[in-house]
């Protein structure tokens, strides 16, 4: 007897829920809800130009208070894994993409990007015309926005109520509560956690035993640890709100070698009497050219910052690097002291590792100071 033919059945596909992105100036974008469910999610909308590394971007604490719009159209293609995360959890307010890949394809993947966002409570919106969004932000500047499944009027009200990142102490949201130590290297480094990334700690551990301290740690507590050097990490928000770290640097600079990146660069400049300003739409990407003013050498760098140091405003320094995209100050060294900083991420690998040599420079400073002691 021939077995009866039965019709195969598949699980019904759930249609994505329509959603809107509304900017504070009233601009509206249609899309579909993704990631963690949210009727309303709000934050400052910025765009990032990387073609890969989306998990590292999303998990970077420097995005606290912000919603990340990716300019590359296909995001999530190679999934996510535990090795590519830069912090214990994302601190961004949301993710905006053109096409969120539903099925990752990579031997390292342990889950999809949508799963990762849901697990960490990060809402997303997909199907957005990110070309139009990027052009709008480029022309009008980064601004608050809100997205979700709520009505347009509700989202507009949320966007206009969102304060953005100026005048807000976002470092307090991301810094460690208690000191901790990693690595077993020969040097002793104290790292200020202003929003520090895992890859930075990996680079520092190649050189040193690293004690990570909260952003508000006073200079006396740092010096009591007898460090060979002090590191100032990246971090989110307005540098002028990180007052305790700025005050500590006024004691540390000239006493112990200091190396700062991104927000750390800005804090070093402020501690020396410099000024900072909020950029129109910031630098967020993995392909930003920076030139060393002394040698003319160009580095292709990874950057993520909304504020910058006013060129010529910092007394007693040599301006060492300039961003070739817009001429903003991208590095300085303190005259007569072992202290320097850059406005980009030397630990990152946006393809090349052009900027990793800054960690060797930091080690050379610590060597020199040890020999002179």
The residues carrying an active-site annotation are: 262, 345, 347
Q: Find, among 91, 260, 92, the residue nearest to 192 by Cα.
A: 260
Q: Are 242 and 263 in contact (CB under 8 A)?
A: yes
* Dihedral-angle region of residue 162 (phi above 0 means left; psi in -120 to 50 means alpha; beta otherwise): beta
CA–CA distance, 310 with 125 (Å, rounded to integer): 35
- What angle do the packed helices 263-271 and 243-252 form, to 10 degrees? 60
- Could you tell me which of 60, 53, 109 has the C-alpha nearest to residue 89? 60
3-class secondary-structure state, position 323: strand
Give dist(CA 344, CA 322) in Å, integer: 11
User: For the stretch 318-340, what's the b/e string if a residue is b when 16 or more beta carbons lie within 10 angstroms of its beta carbon?
Assistant: eebbbbeeeebbbbbbbeebbbb
3-state secondary structure of 287: strand
Q: What is the bridge-based pairing of β-strands 208-214 and 180-182?
A: antiparallel
């Amino acid at each position: 007897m021939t077995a009866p033919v039965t019709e195969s059945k598949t699980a019904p596909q759930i249609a994505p829920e329509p959603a809107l992105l509304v900017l504070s100036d009233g601009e509206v974008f249609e899309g579909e809800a993704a990631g963690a469910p949210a009727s309303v999610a709000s934050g400052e909308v910025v765009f990032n130009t990387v073609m890969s590394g989306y998990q590292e971007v999303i998990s970077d604490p420097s995005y606290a208070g912000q919603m990340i719009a990716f300019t590359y159209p296909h995001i999530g293609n190679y999934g996510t894994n535990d090795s590519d995360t830069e912090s214990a959890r994302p601190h961004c307010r949301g993710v905006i993409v053109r096409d969120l890949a539903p099925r990752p394809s990579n031997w390292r993947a342990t889950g999809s990007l949508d799963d990762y966002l849901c697990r960490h409570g990060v809402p997303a919106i997909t199907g957005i015309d990110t070309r139009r969004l990027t052009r709008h932000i480029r022309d009008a500047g980064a601004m608050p926005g809100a997205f979700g499944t709520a009505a347009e009027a509700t989202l507009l009200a949320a966007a206009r109520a969102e304060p953005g990142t100026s005048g807000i102490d976002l470092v307090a949201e991301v810094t460690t509560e208690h000191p901790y130590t990693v690595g077993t290297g020969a040097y002793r480094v104290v790292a200020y956690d202003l929003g520090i990334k895992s890859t930075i700690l990996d680079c520092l551990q190649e050189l040193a035993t690293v004690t990570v301290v909260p952003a508000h740690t006073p200079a006396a507590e740092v010096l009591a640890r007898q460090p060979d050097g002090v590191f100032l990490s990246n971090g989110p928000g307005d540098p002028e709100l990180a007052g305790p770290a700025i005050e500590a640097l006024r004691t540390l600079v000239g006493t112990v070698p200091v190396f700062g990146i991104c927000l750390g660069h800005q804090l070093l400049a402020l501690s020396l009497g410099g000024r900072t300003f909020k950029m129109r739409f910031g630098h967020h990407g993995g392909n930003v050219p920076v030139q060393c003013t002394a040698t003319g050498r160009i580095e292709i760098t990874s950057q993520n910052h909304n504020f910058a140091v006013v060129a010529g405003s910092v007394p007693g320094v040599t301006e060492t690097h300039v961003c070739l995209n817009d001429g903003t100050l991208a590095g300085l060294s303190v005259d007569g002291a072992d202290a320097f900083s850059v406005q980009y991420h030397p630990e990152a690998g946006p393809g090349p590792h052009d900027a990793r040599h800054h960690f060797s420079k930091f080690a050379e400073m610590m060597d020199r100071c040890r020999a002179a002691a």
